[in-house]
Amino acid sequence: QNSISGIWRLNGMTRLFGTDGVRGVANTLPLTGENAFRIAQLATRHLLVNHKKHNRPIYIGKDTRKSGDFLEHAVAAGIASMGAEVRLLGVVPTPAVAYITRERQALGGIVISASHNPYQDNGCLLYTSPSPRDLSTSRMPSSA
């Protein structure tokens, strides 16, 4: 199982993505609901263009952080707005999303978690099965 890697730019910020996701204090830049929505749109569009699994869902799992609910909804809306199917797993360990993404040959998987970081933080960790080309060259969907 591989994670998506790349550096994305949103709202004029420099480095947004690290190795496989974005983290920060929930509901502040860069981890606002709007950015989570746009990240999900971009990731979904990239997956639809670069994979032949258009009929496969994208799974979303999260940890128990309070901010996980609004981020889960923003991410799900971004995925659905691009025409892909979303499956919500609810609260699950991070490895469960990676496992389900691989075993069910999903289009992708997203974990909403900040791992060991402080509780006010959160993040979006992106998985594909198998790994697509680097997303760093993808363009953000325009706001409509």
Residues taking part in catalysis: 115
The torsion angles phi and psi of 58, rounded to 5 degrees, stand at -110, 125
Rounded Cα distance between 62 and 137, Å, is 27
Rounded Cα distance between 118 and 88, Å, is 24
Rounded Cα distance between 102 and 38, Å, is 24
| CA dihedral for 98, 34, 55, 91, sign (positive or negative) | positive
Rounded Cα distance between 104 and 57, Å, is 9
Radius of gyration, alpha carbons of the chain: 13
* 3-class secondary-structure state, position 136: helix
